[in-house]
Chain A
Amino acid sequence: MATGTDLAVEVRGLTKRYGDLEALGGIDLEIRRGEIFGLLGPNGAGKTTTVEILEGYRDRDGGTVSVLGYDPATERPEILLRAGIVLQSTGVEPYLSVRETLRMYATFYPSPRPVDELLELVGLADKRDERVNHLSGGQQRRLNMAMALVGDPDLLFLDEPTTGFDPSARHEAWAVVKDLASLGATVVLTTHYMDEVQFLADRVAVIVKGHIVAEGPPSALGLDHAVRTRIRYRPPAGVDVPDRFRGEAAADGFVVIEDDEPVRRLHELTGWALEAGVDLDDLEVSRPSLEEVYLQLTDGAPATPTPGSAPEAGA
């Protein structure tokens, strides 16, 4: 277990209710300084509630929270001087230019990062004189990141930073986050994209219905296993399929093979089919849906109490 000073964020027994709805049912988190920490979960799991409590936007009902050594409920200004926040959805003064916006944000902080350097970092250098309301969605998101970074934060919160991005924009955003982390900042990232935490995060906590159901490095969580690629085809009638390509038979007559090395397996499969002169009907390669993956991950996790079944509210 890490000691207090190594931790950027420490959360114990965090609870939050919205009326009858239990949003967080007692969450523990330890986020080490300098790491990229992913909070992974489906929509409505409590990711945003958790980070907004860390950011001091929401009050908690119970538990203890320490962010960079400060309590967000009572010492929020101290945290805001040292942390950058990228909200899930946000608005920016539309009539200032990109550069002016960052120059204004720079005035809020004691030792801001040079604005031009930031523009390069997030890839907005050629848009510096563009009005904010003329930026595309992806460019606005990168501006949000630059705004969060201008104070040279020790800790960066990213709430679903790439939701709504096309694949190339996501990869660009990931590269930016990797760059930031290499500068030494701690990054707390929420997402419902499994590949995002796999690519970015040093450690991950999986949150489902307000409870942490798994925690650890992405590799140790079985995320790899959970997102194994799936090869499907319909075996031709009357052909003897070798054992290694039999996989599992699905109800619709398809054969399903799951594999960590889909390229090799596919090569072997199609090689065999060509050699044997066999037609593989409806051959397809796919990855499991998010829902399927969470179902796998939450299998064997402690059952989440249904609201009202346990007298633990407000504990």
Chain B
Amino acid sequence: MRTLRLAASQVRWVNTSFWRNPSRAFFTFAFPLMFLVIFCALLGNGTVDLGPVTVNQSTYYVAAMATFGVISACYTNLAISTSFQRESGQLKQIDGTALPSASFLVGRIVHAMAMGALLVVITAAFGRIAYQAQVPSGITLVEVLVMMVVGSAAFCALGLALSAAIPNADAAPAIVNASILPLLFISGIFIPFGTDTPQWIKWVADVFPVRHFALGMQAGFIGTPFHWSDVAVVAAWGLLGLLLAVRFFSWEPRR
């Protein structure tokens, strides 16, 4: 109970400090929107064949950039900021107080999930206004919410797990990007799969959580079939991330 109450108050403090770093807040939110504008400008008039449905490029990219937004708010941001806080001694400092570790970590996870959700809303609204893209409603809204909650939690856990493997803060952005950018590319986030996409790319993408998360979000936004198996794969990765984070998370910099 105390742990939960303190986690809730941590969310507020994290949020206060998040918005006081304007460049960080700006780029967290600007990045996905900027990509959305670029992709739509380059390719917005074409269509994407998703098997059962064919949609406008802009509609496709609104779903894809919403997916990208959640991943960068949860996985990328949390992994990098945790590495930085570890290196600067903030984690060791907080570890020496009566604040339960779980409250500290849950506070950061919940805040990252909230930022991810806000990004989805902003991306959807922007896509709706600027590109008349479809936005989820009714049953697809429920599906997108389920995928969003499971996905953002899973990517937070994976981000924390990865931060345990990052030796120092200087290396953090490079390692985080090296781990996620290739997956974003092979999972159809930036470049939709076409009929000529090599089979091996699809196989590799199917192993990792990004593709499944993207399919779930797409189902919510576009109305492609929603598969619970996608949710299950993402959840399994999240669980793996959680186990690794619990096992290897460190409050002190590596010596």
Contacts and interface: CB of A to CB of B under 8 A. Distances in A.
A302 interface: no
Interface string A70-87: 000000010011000101
Main secondary structure of the interface of A (DSSP, over half): loop
Contacts of B100: 77
Contacts of B92: 57, 87, 90-91
B31 interface: no
A55 B96 contact: yes
Contacts of A91: 85, 88-90, 92-93
Q: By CB atoms of chain B within 10 A, which of A94, A104, A109 has the most?
A: A104
Nearest to A93: B17
A105 B96 CA distance: 11
B11 to A, nearest CB: 12
B96 A85 contact: yes
B97 interface: yes
Contacts, number: 59
Contacts of B9: 104, 107
B105 interface: no
Contact of B98 (A55, A81, A96): A81
Interface residues of A, number: 24
B142 interface: no
Nearest to A85: B96
Contacts of A96: 13, 16-17, 20
B229 interface: no
Interface in B1-45: 6, 9, 13, 16-17, 20-21
B85 A105 contact: no
A308 B97 CA distance: 38
Contacts of B236: none
A32 B16 CA distance: 42
9 contacts: A90-B93, A91-B88, A96-B13, A100-B13, A104-B9, A107-B6, A107-B9, A108-B97, A108-B99
